[in-house]
Amino acid sequence: MNTLKSAALAALLGLTATNAFAQEVTLRFQHFVSPKSANPTYFIGPWAEKVEKESNGRIKVELYPFMQLGGKAPSQYDLIRDGAIDGGWVIPGYQPGRFPEAEAMELPFMVTKSGEEASKAAWIFTQKHLMDDFRDVHVIAAHMHGPGLVHKKGPAVQTVEDFSGLKLRGPSRPATLLLKEVGATPIGMPVPAFPEALSKGVVDGGVITWEMSPSLKLDELTDSHTDVAGDKSLYNLYFIWAMNKDKYNSLPDDLKAVIDANSGFFASAWAGRAHDIGDKDGKAVMAAAGNEIATLSESETARIQGLGDTVIENWIAEVTSKGLDGATLVEDARAAVAVTRDVSGREY
């Protein structure tokens, strides 16, 4: 009898130990671009590997590019919220008007041309203003890309007047507001739709980063690429890397700690740095193709920045009329950029 009790107790203890120390979790994360583009190559993939390693293999992260688990890029936030996927990469601006406070970071000439610096600022701003907006998911990182610039068929734009009549793809509401202000006809669309729109003549070009250019075949589909002068980006785009809240809460504490250790300011800066690396690669590909690479003069950049100021003023008035403090949002976005701007080489 004692032998049977001892065997049962040993089996129970063994089962308990197995449950406590060998829980295995598979997390399915989805994004909407090529796995060879910069963020998946330099952030998403390495992030998944780091989480798996630091969990001693108890967390397995499966990555699905091109929305392979279903849905469209604009629905990514809801797919995460509803548990259709465990996590993924989200562009809140793909749902115009739903997350208006996030637009403050995307306004013209708001952030520097460093994706890493802009992403540090994005995390600070997110902590102050956006966590309630994203309360339905578990936010791992908030970040920006590198400088957004104009890619188009034909010669590079040289003046504000050159924008007149151009049909240009824009990724977000602030970007399309700026394109309209400079005289272009903005057409909002997510990045996966851009190459087909170019090839079919739906658009003459669009605004996007260097790093996305090779995966979108912009070396073949466009002829010129134009940046603004100075160290501020013409526009930028705000992203979150997020997880289903219930899935996160279901993890044992030690596995939550692994996710937490790869979240926040550190992960946001890492994601932004991935874009900086990719920008160098992408620009080199466009140059090797013989495409025209141009920078607007300081005087023309100043003209566009003046039009961008009009966009910001109108945006403040609009969101304030809807019950938000637009002026404070812009002030806090600028403050976040100023405090994370690395002018000394120091780390934050």
Average pLDDT over residues 12-17: 45
Q: What percent of the chain has pLDDT over 90?
A: 91
The pLDDT value recorded for residue 124 is 97
**CA–CA gap between residue 154 and residue 179 (Å, rounded):** 18
> Burial, 253: exposed, middle or buried (Cβ in 10 Å; 0-12, 13-18, 19+)?
exposed
The pLDDT value recorded for residue 341 is 80
Q: Among candidates 236, 230, 237, 235, which has minimal Cα distance to 302?
A: 230
Question: Is the pLDDT assigned to residue 58 strictly greater than 80?
Answer: yes
Q: How many other β-carbons are positioned within 10 Å of the β-carbon of residue 158?
A: 14
Q: What percent of the chain has pLDDT over 70?
A: 91
Question: Is the pLDDT assigned to residue 72 strictly greater than 80?
Answer: yes
Cα-Cα-Cα-Cα dihedral sign, residues 207, 145, 77, 136: negative
The predicted-structure confidence for 237-279, as pLDDT tens digits, reads as follows 999 999 999 999 999 999 999 999 999 999 999 999 999 999 9
The predicted-structure confidence for 144-164, as pLDDT tens digits, reads as follows 999 999 999 999 999 999 999
Model pTM score: 0.90
Is-contact 173 157, C-beta < 8 A? no
The pLDDT value recorded for residue 36 is 93
